[in-house]
Amino acid sequence: MSTREGGSGWRLPPSSKVRESRPDFTWASSNMKKTVSVSEHSTIILPCDVHTSNKDAVKEISWFKDGKSIPKLPQFKIKDMELRIDYLSERDSGNYTCHVVGLNTQLSWTYQVVVTKGKPSHVPFITNGPKNTTVKVGEKAHFICESHNKSGSITYQWIQHHLINNSYENETGTPYISILKTENSPKQPSELFLENVTKSHEGWYTCSARNSLGYHHESAYLHVLDQDDILKSGVPREGSAHQNRFGNSPFLLIIGLIAGALVLIIVVTVAVVIFRYKHKQQAIKYQVSHTKEPVVSRPLMPKPRRGCTAYPPPPPPVYVPFDAEWEFPRNRLTFLGTVGEGAFGVVKQATAYGIGKVPKASTVAVKMLKDSASRTEQMDFIQELEVMKQVKKMGSHINIVNFLGCSTRNGPLLLIVEYAKNGNLRDFLETCRDGINGYGRYVSPDDPAWFTKTPGGQVISRKNLISFAFQVSRGMEFLSSKKCIHRDLAARNILVTEDFILKIADFGLTRNGEYYKKRSSGRLPVKWMAPEALFDMRFTMKSDVWSFGVLLWEIFSLGGMPYPTIPHEELYSKITEGYRMPCPELATENIYAIMVRCWDKQPNERPDFSQLVLQLDRQLMCSLSDEAKDENIAQKNYDKVLPQSVLFHKSTTVPPQIF
């Protein structure tokens, strides 16, 4: 019998005898773990590797759990020298022992496996949801619902909506619903079967997938055809006289076959033409929307399916989950005016009385949907709310717009966040441009003493611009540490407070995880997107870094439009050919070098946000030392255009340390 000093995981069977002969084998690795911790629903492989010069030395390998033989179940697989356990659950925790027997040697190694309840990394996302379905009376209806989540506990719930007096809810807003089925973490997609359907089954059905972080739901309409519906639609009933006449008429049958063949030829021809056209385009055909924010517009909702005799009524309202921790009474909000407006939403300035456990009036921003918002936009808004709640639970950061609360009852959904007096960064920078409304003044863009002025009279110098970039990098470092991908990082989505503190907004539309592949259609910020995101809709933290490089260009061009001379349809080919925007007028060589690194064609070669924080911090320190060194020169130039009290106005260019 052979043993090894320090190998606490090895043991001798009680009945074994120590032999003086040379051991047949030894453990192949000295780094085998004693304790292994894994999350439920995952897979674990436990090796039992031995080293021997004689391949026939190993006579038997046995595996035991808690002293008993491994059960013969599909989830346990023993192959060669390892044990594989699939789809672990908490009951699989225990001591797993590998026992190797040879001619002169016996070795044992015990693993202590601890299976912990998996914590989900993100809100469930239904990838294969229920589809609109048409069936006849007496037939069976089938819906399916599948989420992409592979870890953590997910609860699926099937809900039937009832239309009563032309409404899906009563006077108090309580929905008319029936919960048909609830499943906790099924291994297969959740399914709903309705046997022997009647007209009373017709209506909307919703699948909701929920975990501890939030929920996602999809709805579908079930259309039930009775005999009258079938006659009106021209679909022959089985055994009907119409069917018999058709079946007994060879002439009609031939005509039908010829017509069907012609339709098939036309469909195939059209499909081939469309395929070739799309192939030439190399990517999605973009329809440019001529707005101040150049984006790409594509339809959000699919066209109605054919085959139904009537269109379904409008879907039921989207219901918002109540969360007492964040609920804020809407009667303690006083609206002061609109500060921003988008395609389907409005942002208003308001006074909140006693929000955030602060017993006083606070100025806040309140986001809400327009009445014209579609069901998809409503669901996106609820998703934004749930993500902001989760990020808030992870912690606050001075450089992100922090979530304060919401109002979900007795009125439209209100999302309450921090207020930034100076609006978004793009518009703020535009007001700082030289010559606009007579506010701008500067010595030279190449001079460290360069400065301009805002309409409010604040001085903006190069160190402020570097500080803006530095602050955004810190906010993105925080979000990326929480596995959040922004997907739309641009100056229009950065807010500026009264003290020049920058806050990243609209990160509630982020996706959690290492990468996110966009499957739905919508409006895309083409000029800020990385090549891999632009071509195949694959968003990662490194695609956010590319967007950050474009944001840097916006900052140092004082809100300029990226790629001003390149049409959208030519942008992708230009970028793949190696074109990069030239250095903006106000950027130093070092700042431009950071931009170029962010625009590396290979995502893995781009810096991460922690590296960008360090690089921009270094540039900020250099700019401060340059201004101090050239203070006398700057003083002479400043005295020509601005009074002394304005020249040395101390604004908060760098927020306090928070790490």
Any idea which residues carry the catalytic annotation? 488
Rounded Cα distance, 554 and 547, in Å:
11
**Nearest CA among 252, 209, 416, 258 for reference residue 330:** 416
Instruction: For residue 293, give the DSSP letter.
Output: S
**Vertex 340: Cα angle to 339 and 341 (nearest 5):** 145
Q: In a 3-state reduction of DSSP, which class is residue 40? A: coil
* Distinct helix (H) and strand (E) counts, the chain: 13, 34
Helices marked H in 563-608: 568-576, 589-598
| CA-only gyration radius of the chain, Å | 33
E strand intervals along 66-202: 68-69, 76-79, 82-85, 94-102, 106-116, 126-128, 133-136, 141-147, 155-161, 177-184, 190-194
**Nearest CA among 560, 330, 516, 573 for reference residue 425:** 560
Q: In a 3-state reduction of DSSP, which class is residue 641? A: helix
Confirm or deny that 307 is annotated as ligand binding.
no
- On whether the CB atoms of residues 514 and 541 are closer than 8 A, the answer is yes
Confirm or deny that 506 is annotated as ligand binding.
yes
User: Tokens in use for 560?
Assistant: 């300029």
With both helix axes pointing from N to C terminus, report the angle between 541-556 and 462-481 in degrees, rounded to the nearest 10: 170
Confirm or deny that 343 is annotated as ligand binding.
yes
Q: Tokens 């071509």 — which residue?
A: 535
- What length does the chain have? 659
Rounded Cα distance, 386 and 376, in Å:
15
- On whether the CB atoms of residues 214 and 390 are closer than 8 A, the answer is yes
- On whether the CB atoms of residues 546 and 324 are closer than 8 A, the answer is no
Instruction: For residue 169, give the DSSP letter.
Output: B
Element (H, E) at 10: strand 10-11
**Nearest CA among 495, 518, 465 for reference residue 367:** 495
Rounded Cα distance, 384 and 414, in Å:
12
End-to-end CA distance of the chain: 55
Element (H, E) at 35: strand 35-39
- On whether the CB atoms of residues 551 and 490 are closer than 8 A, the answer is yes
Rounded Cα distance, 416 and 392, in Å:
13
**Which amino acid, 262?**
L
Confirm or deny that 347 is annotated as ligand binding.
yes
| CA 277 from centre of chain | 31
**Nearest CA among 651, 339, 656 for reference residue 499:** 651
E strand intervals along 451-550: 451-453, 459-461, 484-485, 494-496, 502-504, 511-512, 515-517, 538-540
Confirm or deny that 387 is annotated as ligand binding.
no
Q: In a 3-state reduction of DSSP, which class is residue 219? A: strand
Q: Strand 35-39 vs strand 94-102: parallel, antiparallel, or unpaired?
A: unpaired
CB burial of 82-109 (b: ≥16 within 10 Å; e: otherwise) equals ebebeebeeebbbebbbbbbbeebbbbb
Rounded Cα distance, 364 and 552, in Å:
28
Q: Which residues are annotated as a binding site for Mg(2+)?
A: 311, 493, 506
Q: Which residues are annotated as a binding site for ATP?
A: 340-347, 367, 492
Q: Which residues are annotated as a binding site?
A: 311, 340-347, 367, 492-493, 506
